[in-house]
Amino acid sequence: MNVYKINDIACLVKGNSYVGRGIVIGKSADGKKACSAYFIMGRSANSRNRIFAKRGENLFTEPYDRSKVEDPSLIIYAALRMRENRLIVTNGDQTDTVYEGLGKGLSFSQALRERTFEPDGPNFTPRISGMLTFEKGDFTYQMSILKSSDEKGSSCNRYTFEYAPVAGVGHFLHTYVCDGTPIPTFVGEPERVCIPDDIDEFTDKLWGALDENNKISLYVRYTDLESGVYTDRLINKNGEEVTLK
């Protein structure tokens, strides 16, 4: 097994009907840009009734049709927020937990100790999180998964990964291995994936590979490490594709 293999992200998700929600963080091949991406999928009508919406430099999940919302507790949240030189991206309201924890002087992992996996047994969906820290024309990043220790949800196992960026390499963390009953949760270290220079190439590749029936929304942001200026792309299955500059 080649532990240093860099995968094509399309090959990791294509043909897999349900990888759940996913975070990708890495550095572009030219070494000049930080890549961050987040996507959501859904099987139930409640989960599928969502879109991504930007407010300023932050990203939120919102209902597509508010009259059809059944339970907003686990599906409506801030998915991406900036705090000073840190970019936080998660699959739930722990985005706010990390944001507020940083304000109290806590680290990424310390803030997440207040949280556990989602209370949606028998799946016990993992909480996945990532944070980029920009400094001196470069960045470092961390990723976290909080998951049930057993099929009963008896306790929470916590895994944090810290990375120094490598040009052309990213890490991909997603909630599920594949569809099932219950749905099997992600196992192991975040997967190594290729990060191209072009944001549209990466966006099109990932969106095109996600299962057509279950994909909902995708957001990709490339941040120029010299200027700090970012370019982003947002796609909602419910509604028109939005290109953000």
- CATH number reported for the structural domain that contains residue 176 in this entry: 3.60.20.20
Q: Nearest CA to 117 among 182, 193, 36, 62?
A: 182
What is the per-residue pLDDT for 3? 80
Q: For 43, phi and psi rounded to 5 degrees?
A: -110, -35
Residue 5, number of CB atoms within 10 A of its CB: 8
51 by DSSP, 3-state: which?
strand
Query: What 8-state DSSP symbol labels residue 13?
Result: H
Residue 4 falls inside a structural domain: no
Through-space distance between the first and last CA atoms of the chain, rounded to whole angstroms: 40
Residue 211 falls inside a structural domain: yes
Q: Which domain holds residue 97?
A: 9-244
Residue 101 falls inside a structural domain: yes
Q: What is the pLDDT along the chain (245 residues), one digit of tens a residue?
A: 788 999 999 999 999 999 999 999 999 999 999 999 999 999 988 889 999 999 999 999 999 988 888 888 888 999 999 999 999 999 999 999 999 999 999 999 999 999 999 999 999 999 999 999 999 999 999 999 999 999 999 999 999 999 999 999 999 999 999 999 999 999 999 999 999 999 999 999 999 999 999 999 999 999 999 999 999 999 999 975 444 44
Residue 173 falls inside a structural domain: yes
Locate all alpha helices (DSSP H) within 72-212, ordered by sequence.
94-103, 108-112, 199-209
Residue 3 falls inside a structural domain: no
- Residues 185, 202, 15, 218, Cα dihedral to 10°: 60
Residue 157 falls inside a structural domain: yes
What is the per-residue pLDDT for 133? 98
When divided into structural domains, the chain yields a total of: 1
Residue 1 falls inside a structural domain: no
Residue 197, number of CB atoms within 10 A of its CB: 16
Q: Nearest CA to 94 among 31, 175, 32, 35?
A: 175
Residue 2 falls inside a structural domain: no
Percentage helix, strand, coil, to 5, in the chain?
15, 40, 45
What is the per-residue pLDDT for 243? 47
